[in-house]
Amino acid sequence: MDLILDNMVDTVDKSDACTESVLVIDDKFGPRESLRMLFKYDYEVYCAESVNEGVEIFETKRPNLVILDINMPEKDGIKGLAEIRAIDPDAAVIMLTGYGTLSTAQQALRLGAADYITKPFDANDMRKLVRKHLARADLIRRRNAAEEKLRELTTQLSAERTRLEKDAEMGQASVEFAHDLRNSLTSIRGYVSFLVSRLNETHNLSGNQLFDTLDKLSDVENSVMRCCDIIELWKNLTPHKHMRRELFSLSDLLKSMVAEFQSGWANGTAKCVFKTDINPAEIIGDDTQLYRALRNIVDNAVHSVQDCNGVVYIECGVFGPNVEIRIIDNGCGISKADLEQIFDPYFTTKSPDIGTGLGLFITKKIIAKHSGVIAVETERGRGTTFSIRFPVPLDDI
């Protein structure tokens, strides 16, 4: 680095050299005045007759270079060098020395002096030495300023990256929100279609038909409430916000979901058969988030069998330390190539007006947040099985 700086010195623009300043610290009037006269037309020159006075001037004026005599009474130049270095470790300091203190001057170099010159000095040699170290000091200051600016920019870029990551997360959350809301609204549309069809069939509802229709209206209400839960979940979403952690019945959640599908897909051909362990299956977590996760799997299963009079089985039970859910369909299955991508965002085999490719991506994230694992077994033409396991709450083991 020193060699590079030395080579760069000759290329430094001297057009604004008059703004540079030099501090001369020497207890002898003759050398001090000689240096003032030598540099007064090129630089602003400050003079001090003691180390204490010189350090005070250095601290207030911050000259670009210091010419410091080594041999002075009370406090010598070596101590002065240490005090100047404590104020500014990059200041250029040239030591003035007599022949008898040459070893002390070499010690000063080891302590951080830029250079030394012996008395009596040659004026041309002194000018060259001062010019060289002023340019060198300027390069060091510019380098330090550039490094500080780089640190500031790095900090700003890091903050901007964090902001962009938060924005991207919120953007992703918005897309996921739209995906989940559309699922629930699809169910509502199915219920409404069913009710319109029923009302068109008869203008005089009675008996079981009336109660059946009221049940459908209740299902519509439940789906609307589910949409409200999803909206509230999205509104409260922040990068560091924790999900709700409450004990809830996974069995009841799945039963509610199956009821929605059985009503909402009234015009389709798929059937959902729900099987569960006789003991209630409970886990700790956020039932709204887990509902959206499991619904994505069931929705895919129903879609895969709706054109072939297929069946979707949903099983749930407690097996040792785990609650296990199995969603099984006898649909078309998943190809090996597609199986490797099904959890990737925006991957879908459905048409754009049906799927966004976010369902299983969302599902896997939510299951992981509940300390769960998901596995897939599939065979082309024979169907697909999704297995999800969650830890049983410790009090229940």
Any idea what the CATH number is for the domain that residue 273 is in? 3.30.565.10
Q: Is residue 227 part of a domain?
A: no
Question: 138, 153, 168: which is the final residue of a domain?
Answer: 153
pLDDT for 5: 40
Highest mean pLDDT among 73-82, 159-168, 264-273, 384-393: 384-393
Domain membership flag for residue 61? yes
Instruction: Specify the pLDDT at position 14.
Output: 42
Residue 397 has pLDDT above 50, yes or no: no
Joined together, the tokens standing for residue 361 give 């991506």
251 and 355 housed in the same domain: yes
Query: What's the pLDDT at 204?
Result: 52
Q: Are residues 146 and 255 in the same domain?
A: no
Instruction: List all residues 6 or more positions away from 380 whose beta carbon is below 8 Å from its beta carbon.
Output: 332, 333, 334, 335
Higher pLDDT, 152 or 231: 152
Both 248 and 99 in one domain: the answer is no
Judge whether residue 306 has pLDDT over 80.
no
- What's the pLDDT at 323? 92
65: nearest Cα among 46, 38, 41: 46
Q: Is residue 143 part of a domain?
A: yes
Mean pLDDT for 158-187 is: 64
Q: Decide if 181 is inside a domain.
A: no
> Range of 80's domain?
2-153
pLDDT band at 391 (very low <50, low <70, confident <90, very high): very high
Indicate whether 249 and 133 sit together in one domain.
Answer: no
Q: How confident is the model at residue 31 (pLDDT cuts 50, 70, 90)?
A: confident
- 221-241 tens-digit pLDDT: 666 666 666 665 555 444 445
Cα 89–Cα 91–Cα 93 angle in degrees, nearest 5: 115
What is the predicted pLDDT for the residue at 56? 92
Q: Are 19 and 143 within one domain?
A: yes
Q: Which of 7-11, 284-288, 297-301, 377-381 is predicted with the least confidence, judged by mean pLDDT?
A: 7-11
Spatial strand order in the sheet of 92-97: 44-48, 21-25, 65-69, 92-97, 115-118
For residues 123-143, average pLDDT? 85
* 106 and 247 both lie in a single domain: no
Which pLDDT score is estimated for 268?
47
Tokens 């030395």 label which residue? 6
Pairing of strands 44-48, 21-25: parallel
Q: Domain for residue 196, yes or no?
A: no
Which pLDDT score is estimated for 217? 61
Could you tell me if residue 265 is inside a domain? yes
**384 shares a domain with 247:** yes
Summarised one tens digit per residue, pLDDT across range 246-290 is 899 998 898 888 877 766 554 444 455 655 555 678 999 998 889
Q: Which of 77-81, 163-167, 365-369 has the lowest mean pLDDT?
A: 163-167
Q: Are residues 144 and 281 in the same domain?
A: no
The number of domains in the chain is 2
Select from 131, 153, 175 the last residue of a domain: 153
Predicted pLDDT of residue 340: 87
Give domain status of residue 397, yes or no.
yes
Q: Is the peptide bond between 31 and the residue preceding it cis, with omega within 30 degrees of 0?
A: no
Predicted pLDDT of residue 6? 45
Q: Is residue 191 part of a domain?
A: no
- How many residues are listed for the chain in this entry? 397
Within this chain, do residues 255 and 396 fall inside the same structural domain, yes or no?
Answer: yes
**Residue 127: CATH number of its domain:** 3.40.50.2300
* Boundary-marking domain end, from 153, 174, 192: 153
Q: Which pLDDT tens digit goes with each residue over 32-70? A: 888 989 998 889 999 999 999 999 999 999 998 999 888
Amino acid identity at 6: D
- For 367-376, what is each residue's pLDDT tens digit? 998 999 999 9
Residues 253 and 145 in one domain: no
Q: What is the mean pLDDT of residues 299-315?
A: 81
Mean pLDDT of the chain: 76
